Amino acid sequence: MLFRSAAGSTNPVGSNTGSGSGAALNFNTDIKPILSAKCGGNSCHDDGGTLGVSSQWINDETKFKASDSKNRVDSANAPMPPATSPALTSAEKDKILQFLTP
């Protein structure tokens, strides 16, 4: 199914994309690899981890988009990932923020 935007372009419904400020990003190919590398593990956001089910969003785009990840990635006070985990590169951070920005 396609929908037509006011500008006349079409986008597939349910395409796993975010389009923040330009080119569309795909959750599975662009975002999930970053999340798996930087936010995964038993004590982080991976399925079956020690965090609550609502915080286990590496394999769930809907949960990820509903999380406070955008604020946490962009926060100076309580950033994600925490200092004990590998930091996001500038490119990874930009990609996540672009994906989460409507």
* Per-residue pLDDT, 1: 36
Q: What is the pLDDT of residues 15-73, one digit of tens each?
A: 455 544 546 999 999 999 999 999 987 788 989 888 888 899 999 999 999 999 999 99
Distance (Å, whole) CA 14 – CA 27: 11
Distance (Å, whole) CA 19 – CA 78: 26
Q: Is a pLDDT exceeding 80 seen at residue 88?
A: yes
Distance (Å, whole) CA 43 – CA 53: 12
